[in-house]
Structure 1
């Protein structure tokens, strides 16, 4: 318990140090004196008044599209690998660029993100309806990225048509409506085409593991063939150049000596597994994110983001900013974590425990973790890295003390030993509190050591901080 408290205090301390650089962005957005429109409408066209800024609109269009994406991501018919952070990044950037011309204090990310193309321009002196632009952009991005399920096209078309019908009536000007649709789609096409160039490894051969030495990871199913989409994910182009440089810590040196840091790290996992409490089991299951009846590979962060936007309820400008910044941070954290995993290749708890701590020649008596072990190495912990970056990005936007409830798996029934029960919800008082819960859940689940989660969280925070220092959304 003392270790958990110390770890939570450490996270808060790190958060406080890292949170200073970007808080001014959201403050300036909220307190900006730049009330002038991005363009003045020509009265000779018969359209009166000024162009409304993005901040005058609600974020309902974003909530709607996240609501379309989540059922597609849940329990997918085909694996989408570790793509969720990538989906969020490209959708977020497309949304941001589609509505940014209506945000006078903000600037394009062109020239700041790696190889990002220059964006289409709005027509000078012409009005745009920013929710329509957002609808067109998110429809196109969802249609083009979410190709892992046949349900995508119908879901996208239905939502796009529904919102277009609402916005066309709201605007009451066919030229503004069509111009806004065209602009949003043009932005999305540029962003999607850019996204297709970020994974040069897609044509590489699968990795074949050959080293079965003690201390090195080996698949539980004994299949040494690793798909290129896992083995080489760390070679994916980061959104921000240098974001994953100098962020990775070192795993402990391998040792079978009982008092060594390495041994004690795995011993703790074994000891905890022997007396898991009901709440520890629930937490482990909640953030297990299985491929069947769950949000696998980090897609649950998109669910959490949607709930935060619904509960905090920022305007469209802040939502677009948050979507882009959080997505970029999550994508690059994913790349950095996978790169480190396949560099260190540290064994998982089940390997060391079965071989050293509780050896047995009978597979029926082998030690088993509480939740299934993912098919790649231990260090650093993916979800700890993801959640650290996710928490840092959101904290720089919304602040240190934001209370929110995560109900991602509310209504899902699970048996933790006392019969079926609803997994329910968790309420957190900060984004770092969420990160702490996600990280420690992996130790309770028996799939990561404490060192892997603590250093993973630090790596995620450092990655997001690098992005914060390099990418400027405000002019």
Structure 2
């Protein structure tokens, strides 16, 4: 009888057919398991848009501090420094932005800049860090010893953060490129006519023209006006250098003239300011002796937008470059217009034609009225910022919230919210009307010219 408990052995035909296949499969598995994986994993190339905006934000903040605390950085001088600082940041990272182009060959007299090594890896945060440290040392050489320590400390702290996981050669290569960019741009800056302008804000060789309706020294007794030759400086953008000068209204004391009507409107409003209008006026005053100046306010709006939108390093660099160039060119063209026409300030006309005892809400600054510097640079900045962040961009301007109450004018510094950048430009311009410093022609023309300046900057080939 057959034993059903014993295992049944495979037949001879089964063994002959399947054993060779099993042996071959075993050998294949053994070979593959023992052989090394020769597939190479390419290291990730980190483009500039993969970094946060931290480096840009922190250096922008320090730039503004240097502007506020370094002697001689009047609004025109400050605007120039912001232009070169923003451009340097952009050029230090633009090779790491595949869709963007350098501005070398597009700006006025800037033909070439140092190039990166082909096929090599760069840390763009380190490049930006080194570039900003280098350019600011050159632009603010007269700043305090304490500020220089702060500058070195920021550079070291950011270097530590971004170099910790990088190979030594990548760190060295990245920083060398950033420094080279800064050095090249600084050399280019020396030939623009504004180099070391902080040493000559009030040149004594300028002869103030005298004619009917001409600018007169301010109430504080300063005889020499600020930076009378600034309008001769080289602009960043070539098209801005050839813009025609807008003609001012004809001077007239006739009550039926536009000139008289605009001054009467200003005088009447200045005598009946609401509390909110006072707040608007002091918010945008940006007194150079206490703040980082009007162009610094615009640069800070760019910094606020960067933080609000949470953009990357590449977009932050673009925003600061456009804004810096905008305020720099706006001050050159505005100052060119001021000294071409030497239009009197409202306090001069009002006192001789309307009210001899009038005191404006703000004392007049020491240079001609037409066109408004606030309006020109705010209009230019708003135009370029809208190109980066959009026409409808909501944000809160907290630039001056840390300032103590203006007791002389019984007004606090309260943050202001906006739905677009152009709203800030219009309010900045209007604040000068409220302050009794500028008529509507000064502001309206300044905004119009500022928009043109900003559009010429936007028309550059920023992308490929």
Shorter-chain TM-score bucket reads 0.7 to 0.9
Q: Deviations over 1:300-342 (max 9, x none)?
A: 2222221111111211111111221221122111100000000
- Give yes or no for the alignment of 1:314 onto 2:311: yes
Matches within 5 A, 1:45-444: 48-150=42-144, 151-171=146-166, 173-199=167-193, 206-220=204-218, 221=220, 223-226=222-225, 230-246=227-243, 248-359=245-356, 366-415=357-406, 422-444=412-434
CA distance in 2, matches of 1:224, 1:308: 40
- 1:297 positional shift: 4.8
CA distance in 1, matches of 2:409, 2:68: 26
Query: Which has more radius of gyration?
Result: 2
- 1:70 positional shift: 2.2
What SS does the corresponding residue of 1:249 show, helix, strand or coil?
coil
Contact kept in structure 2, 1:244 and 1:333, CA below 8 Å:
no
- 1:61 positional shift: 0.5
- 1:418 positional shift: 8.3
Question: In structure 2, what is the equivalent of residue 17 of structure 1?
Answer: none
CA distance in 1, matches of 2:304, 2:355: 42
What SS does the corresponding residue of 1:413 show, helix, strand or coil?
coil
CA distance in 1, matches of 2:422, 2:453: 15
CA distance in 2, matches of 1:176, 1:153: 26
- 1:117 positional shift: 4.2
Contact kept in structure 2, 1:139 and 1:160, CA below 8 Å:
yes
Moved more, 138-147 or 154-163: 138-147
Contact kept in structure 1, 2:234 and 2:241, CA below 8 Å:
no
CA distance 1:417–1:98, change in 2 (3 Å) = closer
Contact kept in structure 2, 1:247 and 1:462, CA below 8 Å:
no
Structure 1: runs of 5 or more not aligned:
1-45, 360-365
Contact kept in structure 1, 2:383 and 2:422, CA below 8 Å:
yes
Moved more, 216-225 or 87-96: 216-225
Could you tell me the TM-score, scaled by structure 2's length? Answer: 0.86
What is the CA RMSD across the aligned residues, in angstroms?
A: 2.2
CA distance in 2, matches of 1:243, 1:262: 28
Could you tell me the TM-score, scaled by structure 1's length? Answer: 0.84
CA distance 1:410–1:222, change in 2 (3 Å) = closer
- 1:110 positional shift: 1.1
Contact kept in structure 1, 2:302 and 2:319, CA below 8 Å:
no
What SS does the corresponding residue of 1:414 show, helix, strand or coil?
coil
- 1:250 positional shift: 1.7
Question: In structure 1, what is the equivalent of residue 9 of structure 2?
Answer: none
CA distance in 2, matches of 1:59, 1:223: 43
Moved more, 428-437 or 149-158: 149-158
CA distance in 1, matches of 2:147, 2:79: 18
Structure 2: runs of 5 or more not aligned:
1-39
Contact kept in structure 2, 1:117 and 1:190, CA below 8 Å:
no
- 1:111 positional shift: 0.8
What SS does the corresponding residue of 2:240 show, helix, strand or coil?
coil
CA distance 1:200–1:441, change in 2 (3 Å) = closer
Contact kept in structure 1, 2:222 and 2:366, CA below 8 Å:
no
Contact kept in structure 2, 1:143 and 1:152, CA below 8 Å:
no
Moved more, 246-255 or 187-196: 246-255
- 1:207 positional shift: 4.2
What SS does the corresponding residue of 2:430 show, helix, strand or coil?
helix
Question: In structure 1, what is the equivalent of residue 435 of structure 2?
Answer: 445
What SS does the corresponding residue of 1:170 show, helix, strand or coil?
coil
- Give yes or no for the alignment of 1:464 onto 2:462: no
CA distance in 2, matches of 1:54, 1:125: 16
CA distance 1:90–1:53, change in 2 (3 Å) = same
Q: Deviations over 1:180-236 (max 9, x none)?
A: 111111111101111111117979964433533331111125554346xx1000011
